[in-house]
Amino acid sequence: MTPRKKDTEQLSKERVLGAAMDIIEHEGVEGLSMRRLGAELGVNPMAAYHYVPSKAALYDLVLDAVMESVDMSVIDRDQPLVAQVKQAARAYRAAILAHPQAIPILAARSIRSETGLRPIEPMLGLLFEGGLDATEAIAAVDAVAQYVLGGTLGYYHHRMDTSLRDAERDFDELPLDEFPHMNRVLVEAHYAGFDEEFEFGLDAIVRGLLSGPRYQIRR
């Protein structure tokens, strides 16, 4: 009889990550634990620790997996710089929306690995081309990333947590003398759509970052 291999010999970091992503996709981040991971892999939970030493390290692997899927090849170098920066932002957004259940991890953890930083590198290059210095460029990356992540976080909660959604109802009648501008909006405005509102804000942010003069950052 061929002896059974040890659990650690049956695993790989790729298998562990794949199982973690499957759990998150179907059960959310709250469903991910080392015990649950072991059950998904069909091994003793301690075997996974050979590849992922802690739950925090597992979260970092998930973060890297999402960042690795950011496709910066969509940047068209023949386009104006504003368009290129917007293409980079859309690539980041597309990767997040492809893994919406991982959004809480993206929102809570900082990027530290080469894998996670790799898609940020071309974004910084574009900002340097636009005349930003190093301090301004990293602040600009943060501004765009926070805008993208904030919008997708709202999308995540709306899609995933039905208990947080508003019931379909009209606004209560607002006193015209106290809310003249809101009353005008309610009469004249319409919801442009999730993607359309994102593009509206993205265009304003990117043009503002590249047009200057930029604010003086305290050093």
**pTM for this model (two decimals):** 0.82
Whole-number Å distance between alpha carbons of 196 and 181: 22
For range 49-54, the mean pLDDT: 84
Q: pLDDT class for 4, splitting at 50, 70, 90?
A: very low
Instruction: Report which of residues 77 and 164 the model is more confident about.
Output: 77
Question: Token digits for 145?
Answer: 């990333």
Q: Which domains does the chain show, CATH number per domain?
A: 7-53 (1.10.10.60), 69-211 (1.10.357.10)
Cβ distance 182 to 174 under 8 Å?
yes
For range 129-152, the mean pLDDT: 94
Q: CA separation (Å) from 20 to 12, 36, 85, 161, 198? A: 12, 9, 32, 21, 30
User: For 69-119, where are the alpha helices, taking DSSP H only?
Assistant: 81-98, 103-108, 114-117
- Quick: pLDDT tens for 79-121: 999 999 999 999 999 999 998 888 889 988 999 899 999 999 9
